[in-house]
Structure 1
Amino acid sequence: MNHQDTLQNRTMLAALDIDGTLARSGTTQIAPTVKAAVARFRTDGHRVVLASGRSLVGILPIAVELGLTDEWVIASNGAVTARLDSRVPRGYGLEEVRNFDPGPVVRLARTILPDVRIGAERVGWGYDVTHLFPTGQLNGAQQIVSADLLGERSTTRLVVRGPGVGRLVDPVRATGLTALLTEPDWVDVTAPGLSKATALEKVRANLGVEPALTLAVGDGENDLEMLRWAARGVAMGHASAVVREAADAVTGTLDQHGAATALDAHRPLGLAVTLPSQ
């Protein structure tokens, strides 16, 4: 019996990005084809973990759409890990929350780009912001506070938005914090050494899933570590060349329901599969 045979019919863990993978950015609508594939995967006894740059309040509606009531979710690019539990009032319990002091970043951002828009996450609620963000850009409620006050409160995630914010990435990283340019005018900042992968590894160990039975599907540069972490990293067909090159395989685009294709390909066969060429 070879190694692959010994892994058959064992529990797998599928880590799924949300925006651009399961749904369009900022929305909660998931194609029936994708929802059905997630259901089949779970019916076979496998685990599905949502791993997103969204805050926790932005992930919860997606979990409801997919019928996930007892799984783990990873929010804010690895800063927040929660366990869904329909028996408790909020529908989840916090497992790990990684905060950091945003003060140095706030001062740096306002020195380099005085008119920049800044938001600091408040887990399970929304964001404190220096200026209101347009509808759909942040999950949850928003409360306007002064930049000084925002910089005094520890947070899990700092969002800096405005023209030219890419100039902040290297200076922020030089402080030891994690900084990601997720859009040309959007920088996410989290505690040192964090990524979706660091949080997923803790969840994997907690669930007792073998490293060889991990699958990840994503489309963004904040998914790079996750795709490399998984035994089988699958990039969406519309992902950038950098993301596709980091993956083991490429599936269809969002419109082609690529996440469903990836889940169905791995569900019955283990990880030694070949996805259709795109």
Structure 2
Amino acid sequence: MTSEATRLDSAATSISESRTVLAALDIDGTLAPSGTMQIAHAVQDAVSRFRAAGHHVVLASGRSLVGVLPIARILGLTDGWVIASNGAITARLNQRALRGYELEDVQNFDPGPVVRLARAMFPGVQIGAERVGWGYDVTHLFPTGQLNGAQQIVSPDYLGERSTTRLVLRGPGVERLAGPVRAAGLTALLLEPGWVDVTAPGLSKATALEKVRANLGIDPSRTAAIGDGENDLEMLRWAAHGVAMGHAPARVREMADGVTGTLDQHGAASALDALSV
């Protein structure tokens, strides 16, 4: 752990030489236990201190937008950007807007070919297609907590005819679909056994964050990211200083510039405090 702490201190020392930092924060496994809204007061306070110091916080999550917005409210984020669905959606928080946000970038794709392929290979596959700001059209209801927002059962044909930002494939063995989906030019993420996320070509949290960085005029050397999962790898590479949570898989920890504490140790809070020194 000594070498990991040294790497984190080194990253913080380097970035603290800059005045304004853009910090991208994963949610599940980084700020809160997966699928929950439970953010420790220590983490909430650290986010507040970081922003009070003049830095930018951007939530960057695999959650749908309706799952990201409550986290923003808990953290007191009333302006700035949030990224949802692994980079498919970028929204700007705006309390004067009717819904409290404005969509900045929405990357849709045609789910039809994937839906047909999935049903041909796995007749019982469960499919969900995101409806931005509302929830999902689904072929079967997903268990509570697995998708953000409401669910509406529709026919597979209807689901495949409407463009979407994110397609979820769930069922035993669906991991085998990742290869063909990628071969077709789309982005496929294996988030857990029996679960594949599909988004438009070339998308990741990093691609969305780069647009936000350019919009804010932040120098690339003043970027940081904190995450714990496989879907955070591109984000951690994108950041000048990528910090992995202490409980992250070895591949994620080894690739990061620094390693902080675990979720139970409020590692995100420690990393933010170190970066804002």
TM-score between both structures, scaled by the size of structure 2: 0.94
CA distance in 1, matches of 2:15, 2:109: 43
Task: Tell whether 2:123 aligns with 1:114.
Answer: yes
CA distance in 2, matches of 1:154, 1:202: 23
CA distance in 2, matches of 1:94, 1:6: 30
The DSSP-based 3-state class of the residue aligned with 1:88 is coil
Report the equivalent of 1:272: none
Task: Tell whether 2:89 aligns with 1:80.
Answer: yes
TM-score between both structures, scaled by the size of structure 1: 0.93
CA distance in 2, matches of 1:48, 1:80: 16
CA distance in 1, matches of 2:16, 2:66: 36
CA distance in 2, matches of 1:202, 1:6: 20
CA distance in 1, matches of 2:82, 2:15: 28
Give the number of the structure with larger relative contact order, counting CA–CA contacts within 8 Å between residues 6 or more apart.
2
Q: 1:9: Cα distance to partner?
A: 5.0
| Counterpart residue identity of residue 15, structure 1 | A
Report the equivalent of 1:140: 149
Report the equivalent of 1:238: 247
CA distance in 2, matches of 1:219, 1:9: 25
CA distance in 1, matches of 2:194, 2:228: 18
Structural mapping, 1:36-115, within 5 Å: 36-115=45-124
Task: Tell whether 2:132 aligns with 1:123.
Answer: yes
Q: 1:6: Cα distance to partner?
A: 10
User: In angstroms, what is the RMSD of aligned CA positions?
Assistant: 1.2
CA distance in 2, matches of 1:219, 1:228: 13
Task: Tell whether 2:216 aligns with 1:207.
Answer: yes
CA distance in 2, matches of 1:120, 1:5: 42
The DSSP-based 3-state class of the residue aligned with 1:128 is strand
Q: 1:52: Cα distance to partner?
A: 0.2
Report the equivalent of 1:13: 22
Report the equivalent of 1:189: 198
The DSSP-based 3-state class of the residue aligned with 2:262 is coil
Q: Pick from 13, 31, 38: which aligns with 1:29?
A: 38
Unpaired runs of 5+ residues, structure 2, are: 1-12
TM-superposition CA deviations, 1:111-140 (whole Å, max 9, x none): 111111100000000000000000000000
Alpha carbons of structure 1 residues 30 and 108: separation in structure 2 relative to 1, 3 Å: same
Q: 1:92: Cα distance to partner?
A: 0.1
Q: 1:25: Cα distance to partner?
A: 1.1
Q: 1:8: Cα distance to partner?
A: 3.1
